[in-house]
Amino acid sequence: MSTQAFSEQEKIRREKLQKLRDAGIDPYPAALFPVSHYSADIKNNFTEEKKDDFAHVSVAGRVMSINDKGKVFFIKIQDKQGLIQLYIKRDELCPGEDKSFWDNVVKHGLDLGDFIGVTGYVFITKTGETSIHTQTLTLLAKSLKPLPVVKRDEEGNVFDEVTDPEFKYRQRYVDLVINPSVKETFIKRTKLINSIREFLNAQGALEVDTPVLQAIPGGAAARPFVTHHNALDVPFYLRIANELYLKRLIVGGFDWVYEFSRNFRNEGMDRTHNPEFTVLEFYVAYKDYFWMMETTEQLLEKAALDVNGTTDAQIGDQTISFKAPYPRVSIYDAIKEHTGFDVSGLTEEGLRDVCAKLGIHTDKTMGKGKLIDEIFSEKCEHHYIQPTFITDYPVEMSPLTKKHREKEGLVERFELMVNGKEIANAYSELNDPVEQRVRFEEQARLLERGDEEAMYIDYDFLRALEYGMPPASGIGFGIDRLVMLLTGQPSIQDVLFFPQMRPEKQD
């Protein structure tokens, strides 16, 4: 049986908790607290001329500072908009002879981190600070753990944020309280998703849901997580992509469908990869990848403006412009430019020789597509800082993509590179069921060679194609990476509320 070890501060807070209960004060009351105003709205709109509009306010928040002046307390609370000061006078809070509430709660019961609700009227102190002259105070929740101490300026801005990743990512709930800029990152994330939804809905697209548990993990080249369905006694996979289900809906008669999809890939973790991540995919009938490039430019221009008010985004020292149009470079031209090798006509062995000369590690499981992908990833990708469409991939790299209408051995595909990383991947979709079966069979041979990222054969998807799918174009956006770009964050962990971490060691 484990016993909880308390710090000295935690012991003191638990003693205060018991004293409050002994005094008949519920430290966790059930009743709702009626909030009428928020901090920034009050501070931005209050003037002496408008004081009648603020004669009766009700606010609630977390105690962030306490200044004990004896019979007067100055307390700052933090709500969803920021900080506001409370002016609390003993004889106004407790006007009668009984001062026990003042002594038990305000004087001896409150700690930093507690939640309180107050009513009163707004005024400006002699030092010029918009404050609430408190007439009633309710303890709403007692905090039993002390918050990390950070330094703030007069406006409440933190200037020595807690930056320890172990703390920030594992205890995000505290990170959000003490580091206001973190909250802004996640507000911008929601603005981005809302902006994309508005763009797609305005075009007549339909938002849909597709399965997370899949019998066949299809739609991407990735290693899946495996689970087991007890009732059916069969293995299931957490989805690596939702592509094949969305294309089934195109077969079914929808012309434009989209989904914000939580995907799972059982692979490495680094500053741009998390095992669980968010992707936007959409598929549009009767379109091709040229149309999709233009649509992508329009979508990203709008999203940047909606999130930041400008098409420019700042990442470290780099200013990235999402203003259309974006350059278009074929993958073979990119490799030739940055390595000096023309790999367009090479066999698998020829590609292995190039990899050896470039110092790129290979193994026997890699086919032509994987080898070309490695060369581009290692030697080219990082050069593309401004948004650039890398186009016209070899057919071996793209088993779900339509063959190029003009260039033998290539497919109609692009990846959007920004700040040296792939942000989006799009095709003119392969809708020939005979050709799709051949491509899946080639992937099956790669699986047999030991390539754990090769695609499985999805026979139901092939059956759907045999009923007929109109020409279509589809795209997948990495939402987390896009948030990183638009908020200037260097790591994917900084744009996920709760990134995956190793299990915490228990003392």
Phi, psi of 146 (to 5 degrees): -75, 140
Q: State how far the alpha carbon of 346 is from the alpha carbons of 351, 368, 381, in Å.
A: 6, 9, 21
pTM given for the model:
0.90
Instruction: For the chain, give every domain's residue range.
Output: 8-147, 181-327+386-494
259 assigned binding-site residue? no
Q: What is the dihedral of CA 34, 39, 43, 45, to 10 degrees?
A: -50
Helix (H) or strand (E) holding 39: helix 39-45
- Exposed/middle/buried for 24, CB within 10 Å: 0-12, 13-18, 19+? exposed
- Note the pLDDT tens digit of each residue in 487-500: 999 999 999 999 99
Helix residue ranges, H only, 235-341: 243-251, 289-308, 331-339
Q: Give the C-alpha distances (Å, rounded to integers) separating 449 from 225, 314, 354, 361, 364.
A: 20, 43, 21, 17, 8
- As a whole number of Å, the end-to-end CA separation of the chain is 13
Q: Residue 1: its pLDDT value, please?
A: 47
CATH numeric code, 181-327+386-494: 3.30.930.10
- The token pair at 171 is 């205890």
Give the pLDDT score at 154.
Answer: 62
Instruction: Give me the CATH topology for the region 8-147.
Output: OB fold (Dihydrolipoamide Acetyltransferase, E2P) (2.40.50)
So what's the pLDDT on residue 149? 79
Q: What are phi and psi of 262, to 5 degrees?
A: -85, 115
Q: Is 422 annotated as a binding residue?
A: yes
Kindly give the pairing relationship between strand 256-264 and strand 206-207: parallel
Q: Mean pLDDT in runs of 10 for the chain (507 residues)?
A: 80 97 97 98 97 97 96 97 97 95 97 98 96 98 92 60 85 93 96 98 98 90 92 96 96 98 93 94 98 98 98 95 98 97 94 96 88 95 98 89 93 97 96 94 82 81 97 98 96 95 80
Can you tell me the distance from the alpha carbon of 498 to that of 53, in angstroms, rounded to the nearest whole number?
A: 41
**Cα distances (angstroms) measured from residue 417 to each of 44, 205, 329:** 41, 25, 11
